[in-house]
Amino acid sequence: MNDVLPQETAVWQYFEKTVKQVLDAYGYGEIRMPIVEQTQLFKRSIGEVTDIVEKEMYTFEDRNGESLTLRPEGTASCVRAAEEHGMLFNQTQRLWYQGPMFRYEKPQKGRYRQFHQIGVEAFGMAGADLDAEVIALSARLWKSLGLIDHVTLELNSLGSQEARAAYRQLLIDYLSAHLDQLDEDSKRRLHSNPLRVLDSKDPSTQEVLKNAPMLQDHLDDESKQHFAELTAMLEAQGIRYVINPRLVRGLDYYNRTVFEWTTNALGAQGTVCAGGRYDGLVAQLGGKATPGAGFAMGVERLILLLETLELVPVSERETLDVYVAAEHKGLQPQVLAMSEQLRDALPEIRIRSHFAGLKNIGSKARMAGSKLTLLIKSRDDELTATLWQGDTPQELAINQVVDAVATALKG
């Protein structure tokens, strides 16, 4: 679980601002859910035999003996909230959320126990046009951030619940015949969650999987049609994808479309955004059957990617416009007065006043990442000032300062 320091929060804010602009462009409304939910909600939605529920949840009893869990993801809470507030009956919804999620995983680069997601969930739309829209939304975001050439869209279809159940049995039969070659995790999951065996990284299991029946060959006709419509719409929008028949996702609620945006630039934790369709989830959690689809992106991973590829614009790192200091101690009261005067005249600019020792003010201003440095001086009992923009000084009478600052920042 990490602290995010002011230098980094500037990058987070740039990222969040860019995401928000794109979400607005698609008419999504923000929903804010609690960080804690009843444990049952996650067990019933994510699935009992998943890594998240088996090993990764922060679960505790409150004073009433009720079992609560720090949310490991947002989809379950979003469905719970939308249902609870009557937002799903006979209507469509496009919702987004952001915030911390908690998973007891082995921490490493790009994988944390408290991490942040920005997610979208859309309800009441069963067609492939919605799947195409949520993917187009994410693609537009990568374009805005300069990331589009550094990420790959992986797509798959899991078919209907029924087609999956039939395929599941075929897979169990096939894998049972090769039991001795499977790794321990895969053996354990063989009967409870055999689809998860498909993304086992174990070499011996992978060897067995080479000849395993493929889900693609057992999809129902409607799901095939849905997938064909989706890929046609992506192609029409110029969104490139690769079909990954092994992509099954680590949460149980998906059907039909699943997708992940991945990158090679981050090492092992290369999935920066993932999601899909979950048409059965609302009913499974007690609501009236309502189709849904969405995705969530890992904010830390995307920020790491922006930093690694040096894609954060320099101006977004500058958290200050003006650093105000005095030439000598006697002028110190003028620092506060001038800073306040600037705030009155130019309320949108960011000003930091120098109240500490007067050594190395230039380098202190540079360290603060300020666009301008204003040094207040006195000459022949007159107050004057020097305004530094980079290495270029400009000498000013005190009453010229506000205009000079405004002009310098406009340029």
Site of interaction with ligand HAM (CB under 6 A): 73-75, 103, 105, 111-112, 115, 117, 119, 121, 250-251, 271-276, 294-298, 300-301
Supply the minimum distance, in Å, between the C-beta of residue 388 and ligand HAM: 41
Supply the minimum distance, in Å, between the C-beta of residue 245 and ligand HAM: 18
In the Cβ-directed half-sphere of 147, how many Cα atoms lie within 13 Å?
29
Token duo for residue 175: 């894998």
Cα 155 to its chain centre, rounded Å, is: 19
Nearer to ligand HAM, 261 or 388 (CB): 261
Supply the minimum distance, in Å, between the C-beta of residue 105 and ligand HAM: 5
407: Cβ–Cβ under 8 A, 6 or more apart, which residues? none
Instruction: Report the distance separating Cα 310 and Cα 323, nearest Å.
Output: 26
Nearer to ligand HAM, 99 or 250 (CB): 250
Supply the minimum distance, in Å, between the C-beta of residue 181 and ligand HAM: 28
Q: Which residue is nearest to ligand HAM (CB)?
A: 298
Nearer to ligand HAM, 212 or 285 (CB): 285
Instruction: Report the distance separating Cα 92 and Cα 367, nearest Å.
Output: 49
- 28 burial level (CB within 10 Å; 0-12, 13-18, 19+): buried
Nearer to ligand HAM, 125 or 322 (CB): 125
Supply the minimum distance, in Å, between the C-beta of residue 337 and ligand HAM: 47
Supply the minimum distance, in Å, between the C-beta of residue 402 and ligand HAM: 46
Supply the minimum distance, in Å, between the C-beta of residue 193 and ligand HAM: 15
Instruction: Report the distance separating Cα 279 and Cα 222, nearest Å.
Output: 14
The structure tokens 């920042």 sit at 409
Q: Which of 93, 211, 230 lies closest to 156 in space, CA to CA?
A: 230
Nearer to ligand HAM, 78 or 396 (CB): 78
Nearer to ligand HAM, 134 or 325 (CB): 134
Q: Which of 221, 226, 222, 220 lies closest to 128 in space, CA to CA?
A: 226
Nearer to ligand HAM, 139 or 335 (CB): 139
Nearer to ligand HAM, 20 or 111 (CB): 111
Supply the minimum distance, in Å, between the C-beta of residue 298 and ligand HAM: 2
Residue type, 209: L
Supply the minimum distance, in Å, between the C-beta of residue 115 and ligand HAM: 3
Nearer to ligand HAM, 297 or 404 (CB): 297
Supply the minimum distance, in Å, between the C-beta of residue 126 and ligand HAM: 15
Nearer to ligand HAM, 2 or 407 (CB): 2
